[in-house]
C-alpha cells in the first residue's frame, strides 16, 4: 500500500509536467528573455517567496550566483528576506506585509527583475512586493499556481506570468523548481552557447 502511494506521487508529478509543457513553454521563454535582458544590461535579479516558495527563491539565487551545471561568471542575484535583521527592521517600520516591498524600494532599479514565487498568488506581502517592483520600473516574473490569485491579476503586459494550473501546493512547488532549472539552463545557453544536455 505504501509503495503504491509513493509510486502515485511520482506519476502525478510527471503527469502534471507533461500535460502542461506546451502551455507553459511560451511564458517560460518570455521569462528567460526578461532575465537575459536584465543581466546583459547590468541589472540585478531579486527573488522572494514565503515558506517553500521562499526556499525556492533562495535556491534559484544560489544557482544564478554559483552556477548550475556549467562554469560561467557569477550573475547578480539576491533572495530577499534572508537577512533577518534587515527584513525585521523593514517590517517593524510599517508592517510585516510590507517587508519585501521595503527592500525593493531601497534596492530596486529600473531594468532589474523581481521573481515572485507563490503557490496561490494570494499572500499580501508578495502582492505588495510586486507592486513595489512595478513602481521601481522593474520587470516582475510571477511564478504562481491555483489560477494566480491577486498576484497574477496585477501583472502588466511587460511582466511575465508562469501559472501552474493546479490547486495542490506540493505539485505547484515541484513544477516551479523545474521552471527555475529551465530558466537557469536557458540563461547559460544564451550566454555561453549550446552544449548537449547530459542525461
Structural domains of the chain, with CATH: 43-66+76-190 (3.40.50.10490)
Label residue 198 by pLDDT band (50, 70, 90). low
For 95-143, how does the pLDDT look when each residue is reduced to its tens digit (9 = 90+)? 788 999 999 999 999 999 999 999 999 999 999 999 999 999 999 999 9
CA-CA-CA-CA torsion for 198, 170, 59, 138, nearest 10 degrees?
110
CA atoms within 13 A on the CB side of 17: 16
Question: Three cell numbers at 108?
Answer: 530596486
Please state the pTM of the whole predicted model.
0.93
Q: Answer whether residue 199 shows pLDDT above 60.
A: no
pLDDT at 90: 74
Length of the chain: 199
Structure-block grid coordinates of residue 146: 491555483
pLDDT in tens, 36-45: 999 999 999 9
> What angle do helix axes 169-192 and 52-66 make, rounded to 10 degrees?
10
Through-space distance between the first and last CA atoms of the chain, rounded to whole angstroms: 32
**For residues 53 and 149, what is the distance between their CA atoms, to the nearest angstrom?**
15
**For residue 183, is pLDDT > 80?**
yes
Query: Under a CB-based contact definition with an 8 Å cutoff, are residues 89 and 118 in contact?
Result: no
Amino acid at each position: 500500500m505504501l509503495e503504491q502511494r509513493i509510486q502515485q506521487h511520482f506519476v502525478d508529478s510527471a503527469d502534471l509536467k507533461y500535460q502542461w509543457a506546451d502551455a507553459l513553454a511560451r511564458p517560460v521563454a518570455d521569462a528567460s528573455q526578461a532575465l537575459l535582458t536584465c543581466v546583459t544590461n547590468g541589472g540585478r535579479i531579486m527573488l522572494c517567496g514565503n515558506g517553500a516558495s521562499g526556499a525556492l527563491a533562495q535556491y534559484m539565487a544560489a544557482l544564478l550566483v554559483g552556477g548550475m551545471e556549467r562554469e560561467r561568471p557569477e550573475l547578480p542575484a539576491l533572495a530577499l528576506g534572508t537577512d533577518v535583521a534587515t527584513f525585521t527592521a523593514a517590517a517593524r517600520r510599517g508592517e510585516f506585509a510590507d517587508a519585501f516591498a521595503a527592500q525593493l524600494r531601497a534596492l530596486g532599479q529600473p531594468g532589474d527583475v523581481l521573481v515572485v514565487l507563490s503557490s496561490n498568488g494570494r499572500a499580501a506581502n508578495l502582492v505588495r512586493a510586486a507592486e513595489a517592483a512595478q513602481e521601481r520600473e522593474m520587470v516582475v516574473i510571477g511564478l504562481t499556481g491555483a489560477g494566480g490569485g491577486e498576484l497574477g491579476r496585477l501583472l502588466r503586459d511587460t511582466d511575465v506570468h508562469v501559472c501552474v494550473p493546479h490547486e495542490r501546493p506540493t505539485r505547484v512547488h515541484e513544477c516551479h523548481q523545474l521552471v527555475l532549472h529551465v530558466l537557469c539552463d536557458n540563461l547559460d545557453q544564451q550566454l555561453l552557447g549550446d552544449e548537449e544536455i547530459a542525461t
